[in-house]
Amino acid sequence: MKTSRVAMVACYLFFSFVTAGEKIAIVTKIIGNAEYVRGKTPSKSIKRGLIIETGDQISTKKGGFVALLFIDDKSALKIREKSQITINGKKTSKSISKRVNLSNGSVRAQVKNNKNFIVQTSVSVASVKGTDFWFLSNKGSRDSVIGLEGIIALSNRISGEKIDIKAGITGLSSVDGRLEAFQSDPSIIPMDPTEINNKEKKMEILFKNSTGEEKTLIIEYK
C-alpha cells in the first residue's frame, strides 16, 4: 500500500473528501456515549475518526461529548451532553457552507474565516463571521447565545428581530419573539473538555483518492 503523509491543509482535504461523497467533518474527540443516524440506517455509536456526512443526525447521552473538525477550514463544533443536532454542508467554490440544526441541547462553534456558518433552532438563527460562541437551546422555551469572540448575528424567527452579539455578551431569543442582550455571567458558560489539554494533537485517517489509491492523512488540530 502506497501512503503519503501530509499536514491538514484546507484545500487538500476539501477536494479529497467533499468531491468524493459530501463528507464534511471528522470526529476528533468523544467522551461517554453518542450516536449518529445516516439516512434510513439504524443509529450507530460515534467513534473518534468517524467521517461525518451532510445530513447526519448526532445525539449525545448524559455525560456525552463530541468534537468535530470541518475538513475545509478547520472550524470546530463541540456538542455537549443531551444534545440533538442535524449537520448539513453544501459545497461552494472554495469551502463548505455549513448549517447546524439544533433540536435541543448546547453546542460551541469555533469558526475559522468562514461566513457561511449557521446554527439554528425552530426559534432562532445565529449567523457567524469568523468567531467563537456557545448556543444553548431549551426546547419549547428560549435560546441563549454566549459570545466568546467576534460577532454573531442573532435573529428571532418568530418576530424577525435581529441583534449583534459580541464577546462577553449573552443574547436571549424567546418563543414569544423577544430578543434581549446583557453582560455574560461567567458561571453559566459551559465547560469545554477540549480546553483541559490544549496541546497540538494528530490523527491519522486512511482514505482512497479518485484513482482508488490508498493514502494516509495526518490531521493536526488542538
- What is the secondary structure of 32-53 as a DSSP string? S-EEEE-TTSPPEE--TTPEEE
Q: State whether residue 138 is helix, strand or coil.
A: strand
User: 46: which residues sit within 8 A by CB, 6+ positions away?
Assistant: 27, 30, 34, 35, 36, 58, 66
Convert the pLDDT of each residue in 38-92 to its tens digit: 998 999 999 999 999 999 999 999 999 999 999 888 889 999 999 999 999 887 7
Nearest to 203, CA basis, from 44, 19, 34, 74: 74
Q: Give dist(CA 109, CA 135) in Å, integer.
A: 8
Please enumerate in sequence order all residues whose Cβ is within 8 A of that of 34, keeping only pairs 6 or more positions apart, or say none. Answer: 45, 46, 58, 59, 60, 61, 64, 65, 66, 79
Q: Which residues contact 24 (CB under 8 A, 6 or more apart)?
A: 17, 18, 52, 53, 54, 70, 71, 72, 87, 89, 96, 98
Return d(Cα 46, Cα 219) in angstroms, integer: 19
d(CA 67, CA 63): 14
Helix (H, G, I), strand (E, B) or coil at 92: coil
Instruction: Give the pLDDT band (50/70/90) at residue 12.
Output: very low
Interatomic CA distance for residues 171 and 152, integer angstroms: 10
What is the per-residue pLDDT for 206?
56
Lowest-confidence region among 24-33, 114-123, 164-173, 205-214: 205-214
Percent of the chain whose pLDDT exceeds 90: 62
Name the range with the highest mean pLDDT among 49-58, 105-114, 202-211. Answer: 49-58
